Amino acid sequence: MLQHHVQSALILEDDADWDVFLRQQLVDLARAMRALQNNTAATSSPYGTEWNIMALGHTGINNRLNIDQQYWIARDDPTVIAESKRTWSRKPDLSAPALSGGRDRVVMQVSKLTGTAAYAISLRGAARMLYDQVLLPNAAAIDTAISDMCRRDEYDTPFCYGTYPMLIGRYRAIGPKARDSDRRTSSNEAKPGSGGGQSHEERLEPESEFTVFPVSLNARTLLQGGVMVRAVNVEKDMVGEADLRTFRLPRGRAVWVAKDEYVGVESAKLP
């Protein structure tokens, strides 16, 4: 990026999956990012110019609780997965009245994150990451490195923004479940911190996690020119089936939250 002055990039892991309605989701993300940066003037990027990292595919984020700040929230978004599907442990504190709800998507400043299935990085963010990882004694795996920089937040503008829940999920193919990750040993002995040994189970049907209308599971319909796409979990998702010709996502709006408005578990840990 630095060598060729690439202004921004989207980094995806090889098993990334996304919603059929990603384009609409990104339109509202652009509105959100400009609002959170207080950017009303025309810029070269629809997402504004005062950002470094956008966490778009993860397995959990924390919001920044020690400052008064603006959030962006889209209420009753049919592409938001059910709470029962949010099985990760790291979650933002959304206990402030302006943030409370059910199937809402929230864009916020991020203080920590887990996983980097997908993230956007700006040219300035890339330069700061290289400085941190190459010239300072902070080298780490990329997800740890980004989370650490989000936590330290050492620059004049917020280092990390993110969406919750995530926009980018992950695909799980038919076949041995051991192929889901290369962090397992071939002898089925768990490496320290790997979370266990290899699974010998077979997946008989393809799966997609963390999205409602995944492209992967609707690929046949799309390739055949169909217009009706199906949700992963018809019983739990807000909309079981959607028409590509008429489906529209709700438009989000900016809300202001003071640091003393949080009443959740995470805010109780603050000094």
Quote the pLDDT of residue 187. Answer: 39
* pLDDT exceeds 60 at position 176: yes
- Mean pLDDT, the chain, rounded, equals 90
Quote the pLDDT of residue 247. Answer: 98
Quote the pLDDT of residue 11. Answer: 97
Read off the tokens for 194.
């790997």
Distance from C-alpha of 103 to C-alpha of 90, rounded to nearest angstrom: 18
Q: Residue 183: pLDDT band by 50, 70, 90 thresholds?
A: low
Read off the tokens for 261.
């408005």
* pLDDT exceeds 60 at position 244: yes
Quote the pLDDT of residue 12. Answer: 97
Give the global pTM: 0.88
Instruction: Convert 166-179 to b/e letters by CB count within 10 Å (16 or more is b).
Output: bbbbbbbeeeeebe
Q: Residue 198: pLDDT band by 50, 70, 90 thresholds?
A: low
Number of residues assigned to the chain: 271
Pairing of strands 241-243, 253-257: unpaired
Quote the pLDDT of residue 3. Answer: 94
Quote the pLDDT of residue 56. Answer: 98
Q: How many CB atoms lie within 10 A of CB 56?
A: 25
The set of residues, in sequence order, having a beta carbon less than 8 Å from that of 158 and lying 6+ positions away, is 36, 51, 52, 64, 109
Quote the pLDDT of residue 197. Answer: 57
Q: Which strands, in side-by-side order, build the sheet including 16-18?
A: 16-18, 168-172, 207-209
* pLDDT exceeds 60 at position 222: yes
115-171 per-position pLDDT tens digit: 999 999 999 999 999 999 999 999 999 999 999 999 999 998 899 999 999 999 999
* pLDDT exceeds 70 at position 224: yes
Distance from C-alpha of 217 to C-alpha of 206, rounded to nearest angstrom: 8
